[in-house]
Structure 1
Amino acid sequence: MTISVTASDWDQQTGLTPAQTVGPYLGIGLPWPDGPFVVDETDPAAIWLRGRLLDGAGDPVPDGLIETWQADPQGRFDHPDDPRGAVAGFRGFGRCPTDETGGWAVRTRKPGPVPGPDGRPQAPHVAVSVFARGLLHRVVTRIYFPDEVDANAADPVLAGLPQARRGTLIATAEPDGYRFDIRLQGEHETIFFAV
């Protein structure tokens, strides 16, 4: 027996339900077995990348997910699409849900410079995807490092951005790594890239 109910029939019978752009799948289907550990917890060269995910009002987003992808310290990827050939041994991928304060953290190694599409070197950076309520699609940004002044000045991606906005992509140094807060909207909104 097949029951046929149209959307308008359903709305009249039950009333409209709230729209949801990200449902339970975000919390159920996206956790990564190694979570925020791109490298082993005991790696002596490891650093922490940490920050907070904030909405347009500056409030924390407690149910987001931060995903990182990066090269190894020599600027190589463990991926067949690396134009220099894949290098094994450094996964370069991490995933961390945000906590009640919007906090996230990934333990990794600082990446090296990578070649850009035109062969010019890009400054060391970490690619970041943000998944959160209210987003139909992930948003993508980058983390650059404050101690790479010359490389950042020559980076073709940073050079293509308005000078006043480049700082939204530069982390701040901390004793055990770097801090990078991600602002989804509002004043000091992080620059996001169309991918």
Structure 2
Amino acid sequence: MYKIGLTGGIACGKTTICSFLQEFSASIIDTDKIAHELACPENSLWQAYYAHFGEKILLNDKTLNRRLIGNIVFSNSTEKNWLNKTSHPLILAEVKKRITRLTDLGIKIVILDVPLLYEIGWDRFVDETWVVYVDKKTQLNRLRQRNSYTFAEARHRIQSQMPLSRKIKYADKVINTGNPLLINKKNTYKLWTALQQKLEKINEQQ
């Protein structure tokens, strides 16, 4: 199984790139979706959050108040460290289960969509990394529009992540989503097909 770690800054267009890859029949494991599943009422992350933060982080229907949790952890490094140490092992265990299932199905390549790939050291688990990026102004505007954040909330979330310049430095491939949508799709297709061709040649030589 050849593993690609797909990452980037918040609101840089990673979800759109993943949708393109799905159109190209790529297998994708979305760690954000896994985290959301584990955070549903009574699941493992939900129980951990509830035990740690108490009733204040629950909405009337017992689901988590994600915005409140975000405001807490993005303004308190101790709480952020607790969240990372608690959630990442649970998510990684589920990722490994899904990789095993895909391998059993004969899938040769998997895309691991991991927003904090470098920050949590998951780049060690993949064969190459792709970074999705956009200029800072566009990133800030996208985040505010997407999540209805104030300027301060959006800026705080962006600043809490590793700078995009460092992620780009570490990346094997980069995808600039500041281009028109069709160009972004074309560039993603080129990366995907080039990877497939490379792996096919390697298999032929073995």
- Considering fraction of residues, name the structure with more strand: 1
Q: State the structure with more CA Rg.
A: 1
- Considering fraction of residues, name the structure with more helix: 2
Provide TM-score, normalisation by structure 2: 0.27
Answer 1 or 2: higher relative contact order, Cα 8 Å, separation at least 6: 2
Provide TM-score, normalisation by structure 1: 0.28
